[in-house]
Amino acid sequence: MHNAILAVDFGSTYTKVTAISNEKAEILGTSKAFTTFETDIRDGLNAAVQELEKQTGKLNFSHKLAASSAGGGLKMVAVGLVPALTAKAAQTAACSAGAKVVKTFSYELTKADCAKIRQINPDLVLLSGGTDGGNKDVILHNAKMLAEIDAPFSVIIAGNKAAAEDAQTTLQAGDKHAVICGNVMPAFNTLDAEPAKSAINTLFLEKIIEAKGLTQAAREFSAPIIPTPLAVFECTQLLSQSLGDLLAVDVGGATTDVYSMCAGTPTLPGVALKGLPEPFAKRTVEGDLGLRHSQETLVEKLISDGATGNNLLPVGLEEYRKTCKENYAYVPEKNHPHAAIDALLCGIAVDMAVTRHAGFLESSYTPFGEAFSQTGKDLTGVRYVIGIGGSVIYSENPPEILKNATQKQRGKILKPASPKLLLDKKYIFAAMGLLARMDKKRALSILESEL
Amino acid sequence: MNGKTLVMGVIGADVHAIGIKILSHAFTEAGYNVVNLGVMVSQEEYIEAAIETNANAIVVSSLYGHGEMDCRGLREKCDEAGLKDIPLYVGGNLVVGKRDFAEVEKTFLDMGFNRAYPPGTPPEVGIADINKDLGLA
């Protein structure tokens, strides 16, 4: 019987398990089974482990680690004041905590905004607004509006410290669980994501694990369950220590996540930086770019590209859409025409998500000639682009899809110029992120040999 | 600290970085919470910073002679953004050539600025005026 470490990823559809050797830097095996949300989530886990042991023989697990994105993941809404300032800071902080930020609101919340939040039914709301000593009115107004929404979310208050306590009182009066943490933008244009990030993780453990039916399962693990995107985030962060600047893209059924690990400062001389300073480790989540739940944007882009002659419209698109709508877990057979459509949409998702993640240049004409300013991160010098997640790695031609993350010609959008393309072939990023929390060195050497 | 916040920066495509550093230093010493946006600041950036920090006034600097072009519309945009009646100050080398400053001043006051200053004005003059306008002196 082998001694091993078990890493589990409870997904919305599949529960994926990875067995890591306890003696060597080596993966013993991986397998998956359907997530059993309706009965007990441990049933699916046991089925996956049994499947795993068919490959590896009986295993004795010294450590069991888990991440979860079951039940739609950690669904969040971010609220701020100015779109380019506290609203963006709140969104960035929530993304770096591994949340799926469904929507970001700015200025005073309206009744329509609140109806939208109710419909989203988030697990958590991150409420910011005002630098410390800055604007108080808007965050207090928004606390009042949030308090009146009839939904069971908790609120993290990460705004103007001078208004935080009043905002908490207002929210508590509306029966909302509300906690205060440090401002995401304590001073103008200063991003401080850490306090919000740790508050999100605390609430994830206290509230969300239970709400997602993971309490029983959680007791069986040696470390707290964390959100899957956080595990992937920490894995890409670790990997950048060995590979240098990198970008990773994960196209899922509901979202497309992009991770960049680089300073992103201008690579061209004489370019001025504009806007909120960017974190070295950055994650963005595109809630409208997914292959199943949120297919609309991608299909629209496919059709409009078809109309301009960039792409021929695939045959059977309508039937494909219908099939996907009826079954979000639909996976077409390898040579089925639907697999080709999946690949096309996947490429579009990579293109759009990386374009949004990347910084851009703007030119202005001055008495001294043309001057450039850069907003966001310059990714042109990024050395590696890594494809993670099933829709990229199991597709017919992953490099073709990943190429969409790069610049076709040198332009204003600062996407990677000529990176090497890599694949998370065995689907181990979440597992390695979990392993890194207990053994960084081993996780890194496994990653180096598997990529 | 006097509890008042000022947003300041060099407007437009102007990259003169020294003067704004001196002003930022002088106003900080005078007790203000200074939000210095640096150089090449657009009208929108002043406004967004003022909203988020609940600023009491906006101080615009311009040294390359295109100040008139760059400043036009700032008052209207402030009104639009809900910063009604926020005091606006402008100073520096505001126009090209040797125009009479009284004429230049009128141009900027007509644009909606509360005060305009000619080249070479010492910081103390602006500080005294703003102290008075904000009810500190």
Long-range contacts of A300-306 (CB under 8 A, 24+ apart): A301/A348, A301/A352, A302/A344, A302/A345, A302/A348, A305/A348
Task: Tell whether A92 and A37 lie within a shared domain.
Answer: no
CA atoms within 13 Å, Cβ hemisphere of B114: 17
Distance CA A193, CA A164 (A): 17
What does the pLDDT look like over A315-335, one tens digit per residue?
A: 888 999 999 999 888 889 888
Q: Is pLDDT above 70 for B115?
A: yes
Residue A189: C-alpha distances to residues A84, A192, A377 (Å): 10, 10, 15
Same structural domain for residues A244 and A390? yes
Indicate whether A258 and A342 sit together in one domain.
yes
Domain assignment present for residue A63? The answer is yes
Using the predicted structure, report yes or no on whether residue A389 has a pLDDT greater than 90.
no
Asked whether the beta carbons of A402 and A366 are under 8 A apart, the reply is no
Q: How many domains is chain A partitioned into structurally? A: 3
The mean predicted confidence, pLDDT, of chain A is 92
pLDDT band at A19 (very low <50, low <70, confident <90, very high): very high
Asked if residue A205 and residue A154 are part of one domain, the reply reads yes
Shortest CA gap A139–chain B (Å): 11
CB A64 within 8 A of CB A49: no
Domain-ending residue, one of A209, A237, A266: A209
The sign one gets for the Cα dihedral A384, A390, A394, A398 is: negative
A261 and A400 together in one domain: yes
| Residue A92 belongs to some domain of the structure | yes
Domain assignment of residue A441, yes or no: no
Going by C-alpha positions, the residue among A33, A39, A30 that lies closest to residue A11 is: A33
A29 falls within a domain: yes
**A423 within a domain of the structure (yes/no):** yes
Query: How confident is the model at residue A297, as a pLDDT?
Result: 93
Instruction: Identify the CATH number of the domain in which residue A198 sits.
Output: 3.40.50.2300
Asked if residue A423 and residue A397 are part of one domain, the reply reads yes
**Residue A260 pLDDT:** 98
Contact A73, A79 (CB under 8 A): no
Q: Do both A196 and A242 map to the same domain?
A: no
Sorting pLDDT into bands at 50, 70 and 90, what band is A310? low
Q: Which residues of A fall within a CB distance of 8 Å from B65?
A: 367
On whether the CB atoms of residues A163 and A139 are closer than 8 A, the answer is: yes
Q: Choose the closest CB to A130 out of B13, B15, B54.
A: B54
Name the phi and psi angles at A93, rounded to 5.
-65, -45
A249 lies in the same domain as A180: no
Per-residue pLDDT at A308: 65
Q: Rounded to two decimals, what is the model's pTM?
A: 0.89
Whether B65 sits inside 8 A of A367 (CB atoms) is yes
Interface residue of A185, A188, A374 to substitute, partner B, most B CBs within 10 Å: A188
Answer with the one of A164, A182, A209 that is the final residue of a domain: A209
Please check whether residue A262 lies inside any domain of the structure: yes
Q: Based on the domain organization, do A276 and A424 belong to the same domain?
A: yes
The answer on A159 and A39 residing in a single domain is no
Give the residue from B39, B44, B32 showing the smallest Cα distance to B92: B39
* Active centre residues of B (catalytic): 14, 16
Under 8 Å between Cβ of A330 and A339: no
Same domain, A255 and A402: yes
CA dihedral A267, A270, A276, A278 (to 10 degrees): 20
Please name every residue paired with B115 in a beta bridge, in sequence order, or none if there are none: B89
* A440 part of a folded domain: no
**Do residues B8 and B58 touch, judged by C-beta distance below 8 A?**
yes
* Pairwise pLDDT comparison (A371 vs B126), residue with the higher score: B126
Is the minimum CB–CB distance between B28 and chain A shorter than 8 Å? Answer: no
For residue A208, pLDDT over 90 is answered with no
Q: Which of A155, A176, A209 is the last residue of a domain?
A: A209
Are A329 and A416 in a shared domain? yes
Strand-by-strand arrangement of the A2-10 sheet: A27-34, A14-21, A2-10, A59-68, A226-227
Judge whether residue A207 has pLDDT over 90.
Answer: no
User: Which chain B residues have a beta carbon less than 8 Å from that of A133?
Assistant: 5, 33, 53-54
Q: Whole-angstrom distance between the N-terminal and C-terminal Cα of chain B?
A: 14
- Report pLDDT for B89: 98
- Which of A34-38, A166-170, B100-104 is the least confident region? A34-38
Distance linking the first and last C-alpha atoms of chain A: 28
Q: What length is written for chain B?
A: 137
User: Domain spanning B30-61+80-126 has what CATH number?
Assistant: 3.40.50.280
pLDDT at A307 (0 to 100): 66
Q: What would the pLDDT profile of A115-157 be if each residue is shown by its tens digit?
A: 999 999 999 999 999 999 899 999 999 999 999 999 999 999 9
Q: Please check whether residue A448 lies inside any domain of the structure.
A: no
pLDDT at residue A104 greater than cutoff 70: yes
For chain B, domain boundaries: 30-61+80-126
Domain with A19, as residue range(s), is 2-70+218-224
Residue A365 pLDDT greater than 80, yes or no = no
Assign residue A324 the CATH number of its domain: 3.30.420
Is the model's pLDDT at A224 over the cut of 70?
A: yes
Contact between residue A61 and residue A5 where contact means Cβ atoms under 8 Å apart: yes
Among B4, B53, B80, B93, the strongest candidate for a mutation testing the A interface, having the largest count of A CBs within 10 A, is B53
Residues β-bridged to residue B117: B91
Give the integer Cα–Cα distance in Å for A127 and A24. Answer: 45
